[in-house]
Amino acid sequence: MSPPSPVTDLKATAYTIPTDAPEADGTLSWDATTMVVVQAHCGTVVGTGWTYGSPACAVVVNGTLADHVIGRSALDTAGASDAMVKALRNVGRQGIGGQALSAVDIALWDLKARLLDVPLHRLIGAVRETVAVYGSGGFTCYTKEQLCAQLNDWTDRLQIPRVKIKIGESWGTCPDRDLTRMDQARDAIGPAAELYVDANGAYGRKQAIRMMADAADLDVHWFEEPVSSDDLDGLRAVSEAVAADVTAGEYGYDLVYFRRMCQARAVDCLQADASRCGGITEWLRVAAVAASHGLDISAHCAPNLHLHAGAATPNLRHLEWFHDHVCIELMAFDGTKLPVGGFLRPDPDAPGHGFTLRAPDLEKYREELA
């Protein structure tokens, strides 16, 4: 038997891409998003991963993580993940370090599947052929016309039966406008579609509970980060008081974070983001922690990045068809597709995740790294 082929090169590049319009949620506003793309090589075969974060993520990949991956067997994704976690001890696993690790891990899983000539969800172990999505956007800075047009595009053109808007405008100081926008959203999507809302931690505990009481006639199904995700007692208090499923977890960077959230009974559905928490390697462990507490898991943002892992996760509820990242991923990669009837389908034939970077199209957005 010939020895396993090693990773021969690993490099990250950052691209800062303007949004199609200004975007804002309850606690932040922005007009551009940075995607950090990692490409792992084994000879002529290339695996691709990415995250959304600071260009500094690319510096961590190129300056710290690459040395711990290049030369290692391209099939040893678990070993590479372990080595990178240890290499980040003094850099920090949270934030930029974790995002850098995540992008590399996803690239290595894609590379491994391509070397074995199998679709990524088959390599992991598929449990479903399609993955449910929910439309996500509805930014607080949108006009009524912008809001309704976006929601109608999801429910009418793409037939997505669940949609989410941002509330908690200006750190929860505009509750009347929040309620007005929720009412506009319900009118736009009609009674059949599920309405989700995301406060991005803008409210206090009692305010979040009052908001859901005031919106009781709108049949809100999903209340994301009603309070700070660091306030586990507050999340549990809101969950116990409202009918909507309370959810959080998008800022988790390690397994212990998710264990604490589950043990505290803080959420009705756990969120995780494979582009932050440690890539596919850690996503699978996080999903198992959720399952051990009787919880579903939902993928935060980056829908194409999560597609194959989602298809291999038994307790997955859905992926977030997030407007900002959808625009970027449809532009940046060949092989991406639109959801049909509220579901995305992994390519059953293409090896890896099936996406190919359009590097020339992105060149004008490339960041110069220090």
CATH code for the domain in which residue 245 is found: 3.20.20.120
CB neighbours of 230 closer than 8 A, spacing ≥ 6?
none
| Residue 352 domain-assigned (yes or no) | no
| Residue 350 domain-assigned (yes or no) | no
Environment class of 210 (CB within 10 Å of its CB; exposed 0-12, middle 13-18, buried 19+)? middle
Q: Are residues 80 and 203 in the same domain?
A: no
220's enclosing H/E stretch is strand 220-224
| Residue 214 domain-assigned (yes or no) | yes
| Residue 1 domain-assigned (yes or no) | no
Q: Are residues 184 and 317 in the same domain?
A: yes
Q: Are residues 234 and 339 in the same domain?
A: yes
Q: Are residues 170 and 244 in the same domain?
A: yes
Sheet of 29-42: strand order equals 9-24, 29-42, 45-52
Which region holds residue 225: left if phi is over 0, alpha if psi is between -120 and 50, else beta? left
- What CATH number does the domain containing 85 carry? 3.30.390.10
DSSP secondary structure of 31-88:
EEEEEEEEEEEETTEEEEEEEES-THHHHHIIIIIGGGTTTSBTT-HHHHHHHHHHHT
Domain that holds residue 316: 122-344
Q: Retrieve residue 110's tokens.
A: 């894609």
Q: Are residues 72 and 134 in the same domain?
A: no
φ and ψ at residue 295, rounded to 5 degrees: -115, 145
Look-up of token digits 């976006």: 150
Q: Are residues 144 and 206 in the same domain?
A: yes
Q: Are residues 176 and 257 in the same domain?
A: yes
Q: Are residues 111 and 221 in the same domain?
A: no
Environment class of 221 (CB within 10 Å of its CB; exposed 0-12, middle 13-18, buried 19+)? middle
pLDDT in tens for each of the 370 residues of the chain?
455 699 999 999 999 999 999 999 999 999 999 999 999 999 999 999 999 999 999 999 999 999 999 999 999 999 999 999 999 999 999 999 999 999 999 999 999 999 999 999 999 999 999 999 999 999 999 999 999 999 999 999 999 999 999 999 999 999 999 999 999 999 999 999 999 999 999 999 999 999 999 999 999 999 999 999 999 999 999 999 999 999 999 999 999 999 999 999 999 999 999 999 999 999 999 999 999 999 999 999 999 999 999 999 999 999 999 999 999 999 999 999 999 999 999 999 999 999 999 999 999 999 998 7
Q: Are residues 107 and 145 in the same domain?
A: no
Q: Are residues 245 and 309 in the same domain?
A: yes
Q: Are residues 174 and 300 in the same domain?
A: yes
- Residue 18 to residue 271: CA distance in whole angstroms: 26
φ and ψ at residue 182, rounded to 5 degrees: -65, -40
